[in-house]
């Protein structure tokens, strides 16, 4: 039974990913329905925010009580309240499903689907591939529980962790193939964030629909390329609280969240990267590593924060993805 449950849960994950970047601020969800004989009779996923959820999309395809006495698999606890669509629990009951297998409980306090299913006499198994289910909806979980955007920091370094020489020369550490991948990555996020130091040093365009620049003292020239395209939010000391003499980074993220920004892609130098890490505001790091060694301690590092005296104080990360782009490797880390 366990192997079968995991098999169909993995299918739910694949279906859920079809709705990625389309359902925000809702989670991504997939659903597989089996009849009483164990045959798959329908599948569905949450296609877009405001439209039917995965369970309803799957069950509405069925006719003649095909799912009666069967099993429904879904990677997230079915909703039990009215939002933009009716409760999924209701349609599960209507189709006389016997068993519901769930990847993880919903972190939305309004959802109480498991209790309602059990009260109706349906057998519920929850927690199948729970860690994978939580990783799949990590953005939704962060948004819902912290009321903050999910933050990914991207950096491109030499093998010895340098992002430029001591003079600031950084073009180009990584290959054209890796840089092209970064352009694609940006499209998956609601906002690109950078610092005044980066804008002044590199004068980047950072083409995107929404950009956030941290510029405490309003130093950025008005003719900088970054202002040529997209909506810009500039955080300065005039519109943002200070913390220890610097912009309060959490306050900036709260402001972005209140503007409907649910994911942030940070491209910056070591100072801002180090500050975000110190404040526990980074959820993931995407690191492109080029097969080059600068061999100069004066070069600028990708993180420049605390004065650390012991290795035990180092921040632990967990690699969850590795991929080659040309000669460069992309490592994706979860910040622990």
d(CA 259, CA 211): 12
Cis amide linkage into residue 258, ω under 30° from 0: no
Residue 28 has pLDDT above 80, yes or no: yes
CATH level 3 topology of 147-335: Dihydrofolate Reductase, subunit A (3.40.430)
Per-residue tokens: 70:
């069967």
User: What kind of architecture, by CATH, is found in domain 2-143?
Assistant: 3-Layer(aba) Sandwich (3.40)
For the annotated catalytic residues, the residue numbers are 55
* pLDDT one-digit tens code per residue, 320-332: 999 999 999 999 9
- Across the strands, what pairs with 210? 231
Residue 317 has pLDDT above 80, yes or no: yes
Going by the DSSP 8-state scheme, the letter that residue 29 receives in this structure is -
Query: Which ranges in the chain are annotated with CATH 3.40.430.10?
Result: 147-335
pLDDT tier at 32 (50, 70, 90 boundaries)?
very high
Going by the DSSP 8-state scheme, the letter that residue 9 receives in this structure is H
Per-residue tokens: 121:
């006499």
- Across the strands, what pairs with 134? none
Contact 137, 18 (CB under 8 A): no
Q: Could you count the other beta carbons within 10 Å of the beta carbon of residue 266?
A: 24
pLDDT at residue 85, rounded to an integer: 80
Cis amide linkage into residue 172, ω under 30° from 0: yes
Count Cα neighbours of 111 within 13 Å in the Cβ-side half-sphere.
19
Kindly report the length of the chain.
336
Task: Give percent above pLDDT 70 in the chain.
Answer: 100
* pLDDT one-digit tens code per residue, 152-161: 999 999 999 9
Specify the residue for token string 């597989």. Answer: 32
Q: What is the DSSP string of 121-147?
A: T-EEEE-TTHHHHHHHTHHHHHHHHHS
Query: Which ranges in the chain are annotated with CATH 3.40.140.10?
Result: 2-143
The radius of gyration of the chain from alpha carbons, rounded to an integer in Å, stands at: 23
- Phi (first) and psi of residue 253, to 5 degrees: -65, -40
Contact 75, 46 (CB under 8 A): no
How confident is the model over 189-216, as a mean pLDDT?
Answer: 95
Going 216 to 184 to 140 to 142, the CA torsion angle's sign is negative
How confident is the model over 288-308, as a mean pLDDT?
Answer: 92
Per-residue tokens: 285:
């790091």
* pLDDT one-digit tens code per residue, 173-185: 999 999 999 999 9
pLDDT at residue 80, rounded to an integer: 87
d(CA 227, CA 143): 28
Query: In what helix (H) or strand (E) does residue 288 lie, and over which residues does it extend?
Result: strand 284-289
* pLDDT one-digit tens code per residue, 45-84: 999 999 999 999 999 999 888 999 999 999 999 998 777 7
d(CA 248, CA 241): 6
- Phi (first) and psi of residue 70, to 5 degrees: -95, -165
**Rounded to the nearest 5 degrees, what angle is found at the Cα of 180, between the Cα atoms of 171 and 212?**
75
Q: What is the DSSP string of 289-331?
A: E-S-----TTSEES--------GGGSPPEEEEEEEEETTEEEE
How confident is the model over 235-258, as a mean pLDDT?
Answer: 97
d(CA 38, CA 60): 19
Q: Could you count the other beta carbons within 10 Å of the beta carbon of residue 71?
A: 22
């Amino acid at each position: 039974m366990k192997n079968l449950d995991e098999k169909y849960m993995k299918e739910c994950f694949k279906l859920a990913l079809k709705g990625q970047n389309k359902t925000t601020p809702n989670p991504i969800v997939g659903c597989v329905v089996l009849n009483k004989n164990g045959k798959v009779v329908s599948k569905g996923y949450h296609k877009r925010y405001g439209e039917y959820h995965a369970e309803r999309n799957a069950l509405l395809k069925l006719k003649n009580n095909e799912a009666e006495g069967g099993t429904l698999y879904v990677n997230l606890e079915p909703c039990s309240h009215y939002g933009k669509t009716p409760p999924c629990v209701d349609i599960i009951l209507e189709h006389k499903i016997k068993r519901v297998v769930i990847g993880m409980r919903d972190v939305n306090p309004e959802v109480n689907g498991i209790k309602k299913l059990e009260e109706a006499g349906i057998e519920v198994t929850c927690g199948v591939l729970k860690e994978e289910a939580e990783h799949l909806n990590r953005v939704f979980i962060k948004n819902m529980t912290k009321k903050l955007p999910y933050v990914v920091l991207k950096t491109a370094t030499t093998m010895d962790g340098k992002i430029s020489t001591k003079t600031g020369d950084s073009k180009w550490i990584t290959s054209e193939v890796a840089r092209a991948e970064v352009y694609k990555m940006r499209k998956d996020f609601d906002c690109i964030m950078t610092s005044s130091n980066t804008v002044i040093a590199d004068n980047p365009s950072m083409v995107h629909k929404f950009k956030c620049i941290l510029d405490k003292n309003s130093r950025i020239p008005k003719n900088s390329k970054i202002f040529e395209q997209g909506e810009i939010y500039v955080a300065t000391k005039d519109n943002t609280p200070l913390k220890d003499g610097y912009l309060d980074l959490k306050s900036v993220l709260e402001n972005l969240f209140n503007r409907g920004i649910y994911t942030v892609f940070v491209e910056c130098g070591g100072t801002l990267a180090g500050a975000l890490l110190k404040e526990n505001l980074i959820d993931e790091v995407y690191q492109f590593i080029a097969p080059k060694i600068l061999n100069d301690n004066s070069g600028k590092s990708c993180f420049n924060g605390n004065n650390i005296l012991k290795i035990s104080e180092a921040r632990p990360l967990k690699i969850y993805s590795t991929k080659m782009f040309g000669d460069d490797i992309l490592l994706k880390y979860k910040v622990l």
